[in-house]
């Protein structure tokens, strides 16, 4: 399989899609033939052409990607994958996901796979969970976290859970940092988490201006990732 990373969040809404899109765009700008992959998209938009995976559309705008299949399951309900699939009368199976991932692996050097929400997300019922897919793909995690109060607990638990499952963690990216209003905890959280877990901070991303995945507003997403992620550490 191609080299890659699996991007998960400490929670929903922490900016996984923004980080994934920015990482792909930045890597491609460095001459690395990178691609995104969203195995399951819930909250898709219904159009005249059918359901549209908004995360994939955002990737394409930020990273200037060619047309390709970057998504396997596209579901309309904005719910957890398992519940969205149940309502949509769809069964999420690993085989189609692996087939699409392997196809991308033949054409791209590095794949950034984006999960849905946090680490312990059900994909089908309560028996096929996101960690099952991560372990099948055998990719290390990039964890996207919030910078604010409470992130120590959420981030450390996510790291410890991954380690318990024998899933490697490459590092943590903190998204949405506001230097002007940062509290003492926000300024020190990444350092404290790294000391507790031994997992490095890959970057602290400032709040973007007018970035909206659902509305397709990319603004300065790419520039933020290029300027604030340690790519030497990421690719080491």
Element (H, E) at 51: strand 50-52
Q: Are strands 169-177 and 128-129 parallel, antiparallel or unpaired?
A: unpaired
pLDDT at 214: 80
- For residues 170 and 208, is the Cβ–Cβ distance under 8 A? no
Residues of the chain with pLDDT under 50: none
Q: Residue ranges of the domains in the chain?
A: 3-235
pLDDT at 91: 95
Separation CA 41–CA 107 (nearest Å): 22
Q: Say what the pTM is.
A: 0.95
Nearest CA to 36 out of 137, 100, 112, 115 is that of 112
Q: Where are the beta strands (DSSP E) in 115-184?
A: 122-124, 128-129, 141-145, 169-177
Whether 217 is catalytic is: no
Structure tokens at 122: 């059900």
- Average pLDDT of the chain to the nearest whole number: 95
Residues in the chain: 236
Q: Which of 16, 38, 60, 170 is catalytic?
A: 38
Provide CATH code, domain 3-235. 3.40.50.300
């Amino acid at each position: 399989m191609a080299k890659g990373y699996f991007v998960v969040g400490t929670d929903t809404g922490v900016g996984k899609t923004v980080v994934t899109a920015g990482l792909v765009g930045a890597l491609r700008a460095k001459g690395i033939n990178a691609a995104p992959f969203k195995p399951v998209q819930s909250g898709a938009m219904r159009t005249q052409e059918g359901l549209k995976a908004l995360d994939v559309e955002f990737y394409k705008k930020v990273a200037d990607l060619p047309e390709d299949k970057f998504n396997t399951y596209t579901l309309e309900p904005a719910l957890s994958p398992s519940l969205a699939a149940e309502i949509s009368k769809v069964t999420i199976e690993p085989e189609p996901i692996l087939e699409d991932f392997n196809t991308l692996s033949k054409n791209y050097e590095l794949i950034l796979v984006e999960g849905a929400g946090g680490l312990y997300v059900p994909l089908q019922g309560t028996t096929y969970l996101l960690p099952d897919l991560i372990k099948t793909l055998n990719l290390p995690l990039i964890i996207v976290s919030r910078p604010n109060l409470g992130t120590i607990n959420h981030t450390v638990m996510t790291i410890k859970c991954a380690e318990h499952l024998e899933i490697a963690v490459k590092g943590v990216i903190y998204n949405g940092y506001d230097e002007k209003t940062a509290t003492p905890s926000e300024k020190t959280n990444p350092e404290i988490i790294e000391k507790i877990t031994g997992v490095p901070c890959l970057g602290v991303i400032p709040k973007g201006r007018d970035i909206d995945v659902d509305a397709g507003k990319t603004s300065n997403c790419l520039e933020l990732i290029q300027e604030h992620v340690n790519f030497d550490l990421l690719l080491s």
